[in-house]
């Protein structure tokens, strides 16, 4: 049984997107090797929200998740799905059960609303947050207001990369196993 993982980027001031939902501010950090290939090799299924899926077309002409099962959560996608992708409208709790049955890890790509829905259900096993040294001032928060999950994350690692990018690696349910000393 694989883990359900989140990985998402945000600005230093806590925004995952600008006021229009754009992530163009990430472009200067695309050249930074932060281990995405190794991360992606561990993932069998990607889960995207409707807005994230619709935004992919503006970021790249190629489908970024070839060879992976892709689940797009939501209705009214307005764009054709990539080969092998499927829509999901059965609710997040049922999706969590589906992902728990997968043999490899699943990645909740996002965005913030979808990540928050998984957090509220205590469904994430691991959450990696890439902090990008950029200040937007306003935009879409990394996590919108939500009910606090029952399990709180514990810091398992910090990785620093070029151009000041930092990834904080949080795990849920580590209590008693020790975290990272900073």
Q: Which of 128, 135, 84 is nearest to 109 (CA)?
A: 128
Report the C-alpha gap between 20 and 152 in whole angstroms: 30
pLDDT 10s per residue in the chain (182 long)? 889 999 999 999 999 999 999 899 999 998 999 999 999 999 999 999 888 887 776 666 678 888 999 999 987 666 667 766 888 989 999 999 999 999 999 999 978 999 999 999 999 999 999 999 999 999 999 998 888 888 899 999 999 999 999 999 999 975 444 444 44
Whether residue 111 is preceded by a cis peptide bond, meaning omega within 30 degrees of 0, is: yes
Identify the pLDDT of residue 17. Answer: 94
- Using DSSP's 3-state secondary structure scheme, residue 119 falls into helix
Identify the pLDDT of residue 7. Answer: 94
């Amino acid at each position: 049984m694989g883990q359900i993982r989140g990985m998402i980027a945000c600005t230093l001031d806590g925004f995952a997107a600008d006021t229009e939902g754009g992530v163009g501010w990430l472009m200067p950090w695309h050249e930074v090797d932060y281990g995405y290939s190794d991360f992606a090799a561990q993932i069998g299924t990607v889960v995207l929200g409707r807005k994230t899926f619709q935004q992919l077309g503006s970021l790249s002409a190629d489908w970024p998740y070839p060879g992976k099962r892709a689940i797009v959560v939501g209705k009214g996608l307005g764009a054709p799905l990539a080969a092998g992708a499927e829509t999901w409208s059965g609710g997040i709790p049922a999706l969590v059960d589906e992902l728990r049955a997968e043999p490899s890890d699943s990645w909740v790509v996002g965005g913030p609303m979808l990540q928050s829905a998984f957090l509220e259900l205590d469904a994430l096993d691991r959450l990696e947050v890439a902090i990008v040294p950029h200040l937007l001032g306003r935009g879409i928060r990394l996590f919108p207001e939500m009910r606090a999950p029952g399990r709180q994350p514990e810091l398992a690692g910090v990785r620093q990369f070029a151009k000041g990018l930092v990834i904080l690696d949080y795990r849920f349910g580590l209590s008693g196993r020790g975290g990272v000393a900073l």
